[in-house]
Homo-oligomer: A and B are copies of this chain.
Amino acid sequence: MTEFTPQDPDFEARTRASFARQTFMATLGAQMSAVRSGYVEIVMAYNDQLTQQHGYMHGVALAGIADSAAGYAAFTLMAPDESPLSVEYKVNMLRPGAGERFIARANVIKAGRTLSVVQANVFAVDADGNEKLLQTMLQTMIALAGKSDRVEFNPAGAS
């Protein structure tokens, strides 16, 4: 993995605080289990309120923790006055969402001044800790300069 030097020594607290403001992650029951420079890990348990038609975890719920891990992996490397926005992602669903527990791991591949590219994988973990790769994602993030992530944007001004 590439080594990255964070611009903000307090990146972990800033990253965890932003994640905690995402109500969607709470709805998914997702928790941020690890935060390092250019790397984030998010876990969630199987939940029968988040399934597709066959009882598997819905692919989008799993992509949700991948997207969030990827976005926050990029966020760890941003300056304190920058806010992250997801530009796009692509995800391949390799296996259905069977498992008790799921873990998304995201590594920054390229941290640019404006854009970052992040690679994320989602694994199912069984009771013995064995992992199976379920999804792989490539994501592009943009850093919005001069917009602290703590300030609410004005929805009326959204464009």
Contact = CB atoms under 8 A, between A and B. Distances in A.
A67 interface: yes
Nearest to A72: B53
A88 interface: yes
Q: Tell me the number of copies of this protein.
A: 4
A114 B142 contact: yes
Interface stretch (A5-13, A15-23, A31-39): A15-23
A40 to B, nearest CB: 14
Contacts of A48: 23
A73 interface: no
A79 interface: no
A22 B58 contact: yes
Contact of A61 (B24, B55, B93, B156): B24
Dominant SS at the A interface? mixed
Given A18-B53, A98-B155, 7 more contacts: A24-B52, A27-B27, A56-B158, A87-B92, A88-B117, A98-B158, A136-B138
24 contacts: A22-B51, A23-B49, A23-B50, A27-B49, A54-B149, A55-B153, A56-B155, A60-B60, A60-B67, A60-B68, A61-B64, A64-B64, A87-B92, A88-B91, A88-B92, A90-B138, A92-B110, A94-B117, A95-B159, A96-B153, A98-B156, A98-B158, A109-B133, A117-B136
